[in-house]
Structure 1
Amino acid sequence: MTLPDRLPSGGLTRPAALQPGDRVAVIAASGPVDQPNLEVGLQSLRGLGLRPEVFASARTGGDYLAGSDRLRADDLTAALTDPAFTAVFCAAGGYGAQRTLELVDWTRMGTPTPRAVIGFSDVTAILEAVAVRLGWVGFFGPMPGGGGFRPGRADFDALAALLTDPASVKELRFPASRALAGGVAEGVTLGGTLSLLASSAGTATSLPAAGGILLIEDVEEEPYRLDRLLTQLRRSGYLADAAGIVCGTFTDCGPRERVEELLHDRLSDLGVPVLLRADIGHGVHQQTFPVGLPARLDADAGTLTFAVPALV
Structure 2
Amino acid sequence: MISALRRPAPLRAGARIGVLGVSSPSTLRRLDAGLDTLRFSGFEPVLYDTATVRGTVFDWLAGTDRQRADDLRKALLDRDIDAIFLVSGGYGSQRTLEAFDWSGLEEIEPKFIVGYSDVTGLLEAVAARLGWCGVMGPMVSEHEFAESYSFSSLIRLMKTENLPLTMSFPAANTVTAGRTEGVTCGGNLSLLAGSVGTDTAWIPGDGIWLLEDETESPERIDTMLTHLRRAGYFENAAGVICGTWHDSGDAKVLSQVVPDRLGTLGIPTIEGANIGHGGHVQSYPIGVAATLDAGARTLTLD
- The alignment's TM-score, normalised by the length of structure 1, stands at 0.93
Kindly tell me: are residues 168 and 9 of structure 1, through their superposed partners in 2, closer, same or farther at Cα, counting changes over 3 Å?
A: closer
Q: Specify the code of the residue in structure 2 equivalent to 1:200.
A: S
TM-superposed CA distance for 1:161, in Å, is 1.8
Tell me, yes or no, if structure 1 residue 75 matches structure 2 residue 67: no
Q: Give the letter for the 2:168 counterpart.
A: R
Q: Which runs of 5+ in 1 are unaligned?
A: 1-7, 308-312
Select the residue among 196, 221, 228 that pairs with 1:201: 196
Identity %: 45
CA RMSD of aligned residues (A): 1.3
Counterpart of 1:283, as a letter, is G
**C-alpha contact 1:218 1:251 (8 A) present in aligned 2:** yes
Residue 61 of structure 2: aligned partner:
65
Output the amino acid matched with 1:231.
T
Structure 1 SS opposite 2:103: helix
> 1:288 deviation in Å?
0.7
Tell me the amino acid that sits aligned with residue 214 of structure 1. Answer: W
Superposed, which structure 2 residues align to 1:193-272 within 5 Å?
Answer: 193-272=188-267
Q: Specify whether residues 142 and 166 from structure 1 end up closer, same or farther in structure 2 by C-alpha distance, changes over 3 A only.
A: farther
Secondary structure of the residue that 1:124 maps to in structure 2? helix
The one-letter code of the counterpart of 2:169 is F
Return the offset for 1:209. 4.1
Of 159, 165, 173, the match for 1:170: 165
Shift of 1:270: 0.8
Q: Is 1:89 aligned to 2:85, yes or no? A: yes
1:281: how far off?
0.3
Deviation at 1:165, TM superposition (A): 3.3
Residue equivalent to 1:24? 17
Q: Which moved more, 1:102-111 or 1:194-203?
A: 102-111
Equivalent position SS for 1:108? coil
> How far off its partner does 1:46 sit?
0.5
Letter in 2 for 1:305: T
Q: Cα offset for 1:91?
A: 0.8
* Map 1:89-238 → 2, pairs under 5 A: 89-150=85-146, 153-167=148-162, 170-238=165-233
Alpha-carbon distance in 2 for matches of 1:169, 1:57: 36
CA distance in 2, matches of 1:174, 1:119: 21
CA distance in 2, matches of 1:102, 1:169: 36
8 Å CA contact 2:3, 2:206 repeated in 1? no
In 2, the alpha carbon distance for the partners of 1:91 and 1:284 equals 16
Q: State how many pairs are aligned.
A: 299
Question: CA–CA distance in 2 between the matches of 1:34 and 1:169?
Answer: 35
Please tell me whether residue 44 in structure 1 is matched to residue 40 in structure 2: no
CA contact (8 A) 2:133 2:287 kept: yes
Q: How far apart are residue 231 of structure 1 and its match? A: 1.1
Q: Aligned AA for 1:298?
A: D
Gaps of 5+ in 2: none
Runs in 1 of length 4+ with deviation above 4 angstroms? none
Match 1:288 to one of 283, 286, 291? 283
2:300 is the counterpart of 1:305: yes
Q: Is the 8 A contact 1:249 1:280 kept in 2?
A: yes
Aligned match of 1:13: 6
Name the SS for the 1:74 alignment partner: helix
CA distance in 2, matches of 1:238, 1:162: 26
SS in 1 for 2:10: coil
- Output the CA distance in 2 between the equivalents of 1:77 and 1:169: 32
- Residue type of the partner of 2:293? D
Is the CA contact (8 Å cut-off) linking 1:181 and 1:272 kept in structure 2?
yes
